[in-house]
Structure 1
Amino acid sequence: MMTTTKLSLTARIVLGMIAGIAVGFFFQWLLGGAEERRLTLLGMSLPLKAFFVDGIFHVGGEIFIASLKMLVVPLVFVSLVCGTCSLSDTSKLGRLGGKSIGLYILTTALAISLAIGAALLVGPGNGVEMQSDATFDVSSAPTLAQVFINIFPSNPIQSMASGNMLQIIVFAVLFGLAVALSGQAGERVAALFNDFNEIIMKLVTLLMNLAPYGVFFLMAKLFTTLGFETIASLLKYFLVVLFVLLFHGMAVYPTLLKSLTGLNPLIFLRKMRDAALFAFSTSSSNATLPVTMETVNKKLGVNNSISSFTVPLGATINMDGTAIMQGVATVFIAQVFGVDLTLSDYLMVILTATLASIGTAGVPGVGLIMLAMVLQQVGLPVEGIALIIGVDRLLDMTRTSVNITGDAMVSIVVAKSEGEFDERVFNDPRAGLKDETIDFHHMRN
């Protein structure tokens, strides 16, 4: 009797990604720059680009992203309420906040320092004479005082509707504390929220089964429209950013994990594959947040009381990948425009970018706004951003994977220090895998 081997979720996502890239290249070759090329099918003349690229691929990818984003607010709110109301020691919140924010700031400072060092060593902008017709409009970043004011919601329902993550975190923590201090009424509410949390995590598992199809649509559209002639003209810049991103994600994080916890970094990287692939295809830490949360809880062994705080906070303020882009881009733009930056200028870039990773949280287009702030701080022309916009989309995918890997690493370190970490789950290669696939036939029976 023949037995069929079921592919793992990781294998299915990789297949979807490879198939999407292949289909995208095929359509790029087929269209050949001709927007109006048509396909005759069953007597109907269909415009190829409008029907496939802007139609099927676009709609499929957007539905997948929207489905993931749909879960973000309820997942963050419910899991954070559950985690907070389960804390027996309310002073623990202060320790969690201090450790998490401190580690996120440390990794961001390391990231941008590494990026500046690599860019100075390679010199991606030396000898480059580029002209660009693209423009970049600088959005004003909030002042430091306004940042602190904006953390606290005046209307929590509006905060949830707009997806303001810091305000949702603050309200959920306060709500969870109130539940913990409310006696029997609080116990009943806590039990209800724990049930909600189980249901939402099951919904995450359902959506993960659709991930290979969503990834296929996203990759197919991206690689149909990706202009590789732009990458060729910026090859040195592209490769420097890519190298530093990979080095930070696959060397710096594992080194920190090993030195701070003694855990095996290879197990950590292996268990982060699914979440990293999600992040790569969606280019959004927030959209990937449900998958990151499930990975940290079920595969890495972090207790929900820790991950419900550290993961949403990291998705909001941890910008290591963006900081790397800023470091290399600052050096690149300075070299292209022939501006010599001093040591104090580079130190100012490190300080500004590190603080801006928290200060601009929740601002749309955060990466480029942060870069504009950094360039203005050291007197470089903001118009230089237009030079790198063409390759930023592909790099954005990689830096999102780096960001969520940092969120998971910090969650493990904080959980281990608080005694809320299950090392048996971390070392179990099958942990979390049993829930990856839903048996729909069993559900019907």
Structure 2
Amino acid sequence: MSDTTAQPARRLRLPSFSVQVLLGLGLGIALGWVALRIGPAADGAPNGLATALDTIGTSFVTLLKAIVPPLVFLAIVASIANLRQVTNAARLAWQTLLWFAITAAISVLIGIGLGLLLQPGKNSALSPEAGSEVGATASWLDFLNGLIPSNFLGLGASTQTADDGSLTTGISFNVLQIVVIAIVVGVAAYRTGPAAEPFLGFTRSALAIVQKILWWVIRLAPLGTLGLIGGAVATYGWDLLAPLGTFAAAIYVGLGLVLFVVYPVILRTNGLGVMRFFRGAWPAIELAFVSRSSVGTLPVTQRVVERNLGVPRSYASFAVPLAATTKMDGCASIYPAISAIFIAQLFGIDLSLTDYLLIAFVSVVGSAATAGLTGAVVMLTLTLSTLGLPLAGVGLLLAIDPILDMGRTAVNVAGQALVPTIVAKREGIIDLDQYASASADDLFRDDVEERPVVQPSPAPVS
């Protein structure tokens, strides 16, 4: 009788998470092209494939956005409870805001330079008469109004009128207001002392549950990527780029310079590896590109900052949600700068040195004025109204806005991951081993616990 050794059954080894997302991206482009070639149905409605792709993509973003309010609230409250470990919380906050301003200033200078160099308004075939004003505008009072919560949950309702005259009411949330509420509740719990421990214990448990649910949702990213990019290709195609080719090229050149030149220089100046940053942050950047939503990507951004880039959760849970609402180098710096110059050139309006300084000022601090509002169009209207330029020019750019928004959002999210990483490095609280070794698949590890905050060095580390 011969001895036989039972061989264990082989498990199917799936590709890494990044490869799965890339496969979803490629398949989505192919399916979107097929849907685009099929064309609309007989009644003018999107065909079945286009509808299916759009449904998959929007459902994934909706799931991510549903996680945002509890994640932001619980993470900030829990992090404030850990302030006993951090002796320089105020310094961290000011350093974060300072680097928001530094990167925004560099980005807007690049936007102004490209606008003057490429002259997109003078090289456009569009006519100023084709423009139309838009309803979404912003003012400097929006920042103060956005800070004051209208209710304890930071929720709001909006009513929209459909083409058939019917009214649709939707519930939305203001992330900036949730941040304010969470800070107030966290500080109150911190100052209450031992009596607040049961509440803080519940908060930590609830946060662990929310993060587990987030783990499940992120696992759907390859499928969500397929639907998002496929729906974009099926809906917009690329034909709309022709009349605004120079303008679109200027935007993407500016975005590329910030993402692949400015950010790497900042990383190297602060002693951090460039490829390691992009390897760690890539899942969030990639999702931002296809989803076109900084807020929708926020859960993934916060997770990569903590898990991949080595930033302590007690700091990341404050910095990343704040960045997702006020740190937008793509939408609030490059885009409005080039767009304002484009509109001025198209309408034959000469801009003075003061106007260019105003563009820089609005881009550096204006994103705070539009915090809680959606879309780069709102930031653009704030810039145009500050300069006294015609708002009718905004309507000329809406045709290709979705195509531009993909690149803008990717740069936004990259900056939202960059600043907390830079501040953590300069303050000596980053986990450099985690930064050096992390990969996209670390997002799904369950054995990563909250790292204790290392006490910072007396002087910033350069």
Q: Same fold (TM over 0.5)?
A: yes
For the 8 Å contact 1:60–1:217, the answer to whether it is kept is yes
For the 8 Å contact 1:82–1:190, the answer to whether it is kept is yes
Whole-Å Cα distance in 2 between the matches of residues 159 and 91 of structure 1?
Answer: 33
| 1:368 is aligned to 2:377 | yes
Q: Which one of 226, 241, 251 corresponds to residue 216 of structure 1?
A: 226
Residue 381 of structure 1, CA deviation: 1.8
Q: Which structure 2 segments of 5+ residues have no match?
A: 1-6, 157-170, 448-462
Whole-Å Cα distance in 2 between the matches of residues 422 and 148 of structure 1?
Answer: 36
Change (3 A) 1:69 1:127: closer
TM-score when scaled to structure 2?
A: 0.85
| 1:153 is aligned to 2:149 | yes
Letter in 2 for 1:408: A
CA RMSD of aligned residues (A): 2.4
Alignment of 1:100-179 (within 5 A): 100-131=96-127, 133=130, 135-144=132-141, 147-153=143-149, 155-159=151-155, 162-179=172-189
| 1:95 is aligned to 2:103 | no
| 1:52 is aligned to 2:49 | yes
TM-score when scaled to structure 1?
A: 0.88
For the 8 Å contact 1:90–1:177, the answer to whether it is kept is no
Whole-Å Cα distance in 2 between the matches of residues 231 and 326 of structure 1?
Answer: 18
Whole-Å Cα distance in 2 between the matches of residues 7 and 393 of structure 1?
Answer: 30
| 1:283 is aligned to 2:292 | yes
1:300 counterpart residue number: 309
Whole-Å Cα distance in 2 between the matches of residues 210 and 383 of structure 1?
Answer: 40
Whole-Å Cα distance in 1 between the matches of residues 440 and 202 of structure 2?
Answer: 26
Whole-Å Cα distance in 2 between the matches of residues 27 and 269 of structure 1?
Answer: 32
Letter in 2 for 1:406: G
1:313 counterpart residue number: 322
Give the length in aligned residue pairs. Answer: 423
| 1:195 is aligned to 2:205 | yes
1:27 counterpart residue number: 35
Residue 18 of structure 1, CA deviation: 1.1
Can you list the C-alpha shifts for 1:368-427, whole angstroms capped at 9, x where unaligned?
122122123223221111221111111111111111111111111222344431111101
2:73 counterpart residue number: 77
Whole-Å Cα distance in 2 between the matches of residues 291 and 416 of structure 1?
Answer: 21
Can you list the C-alpha shifts for 1:35-76, whole angstroms capped at 9, x where unaligned?
319xxxxxxxxx99342223x222222211110001000000
1:204 counterpart residue number: 214
Of 311-320 and 234-243, deviating more is: 234-243
Can you list the C-alpha shifts for 1:276-328, whole angstroms capped at 9, x where unaligned?
11111110110000000110011111101110111000000012101211111
Whole-Å Cα distance in 2 between the matches of residues 158 and 341 of structure 1?
Answer: 40
Change (3 A) 1:120 1:431: closer
1:12 counterpart residue number: 20
Of 115-124 and 291-300, deviating more is: 115-124
For the 8 Å contact 1:165–1:316, the answer to whether it is kept is yes
Change (3 A) 1:331 1:431: closer
Change (3 A) 1:345 1:62: same
Whole-Å Cα distance in 2 between the matches of residues 200 and 337 of structure 1?
Answer: 51
| 1:63 is aligned to 2:59 | yes
Whole-Å Cα distance in 2 between the matches of residues 435 and 148 of structure 1?
Answer: 38
Bigger proportion of residues as helix: 1
1:36 counterpart residue number: 42
Alignment of 1:245-284 (within 5 A): 245-259=255-269, 261-284=270-293
1:404 counterpart residue number: 413
Residue 78 of structure 1, CA deviation: 0.5
Residue 138 of structure 1, CA deviation: 4.2
Residue 436 of structure 1, CA deviation: 5.8
Seq. identity, %: 32
Q: Which structure 1 segments of 5+ residues have no match?
A: 38-46, 439-445
| 1:351 is aligned to 2:361 | yes
2:392 counterpart residue number: 383
Letter in 1 for 2:124: V
Residue 167 of structure 1, CA deviation: 1.7
Change (3 A) 1:257 1:127: closer
